[in-house]
């Protein structure tokens, strides 16, 4: 099953995109800020903004997702 048809996998992909974009913006701020008007890279800029401004909620969602994946394997 792909991540588009499984809701939990889709949420995991979205969370990983937010976390990766935030880290990439922290390490290379010029690349993401310069291309924020571009449609493809603009999505990563928006995800980086969500990760920066809502970081406590994103981290809580990552912990919940990790717990659900860990508990699902037992």
Domain boundaries, the chain: 7-72
Residue 74: predicted pLDDT: 52
Residue 49 to residue 9: CA distance in whole angstroms? 22
**In which band, very low, low, confident or very high, does the pLDDT at 29 lie, cut at 50, 70 and 90?**
confident
Q: How far is Cα 38 from Cα 70, in angstroms, rounded to an integer?
A: 37
Residues of the chain with pLDDT > 70: what percent?
A: 91
Higher-confidence residue of 26 and 36: namely 26
Write down the mean pLDDT value for the chain: 83
Rounded Cα gap, residues 45 and 42, in angstroms? 5
């Amino acid at each position: 099953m792909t991540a588009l048809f499984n809701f939990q996998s889709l949420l995991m992909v979205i969370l990983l995109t937010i976390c990766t974009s935030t880290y990439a913006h922290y390490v290379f701020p010029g690349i993401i800020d310069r291309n924020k008007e571009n449609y493809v890279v603009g999505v990563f800029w928006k995800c980086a903004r969500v990760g920066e401004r809502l970081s406590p909620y994103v981290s809580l969602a990552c912990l919940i997702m990790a717990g659900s994946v860990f508990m699902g394997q037992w």
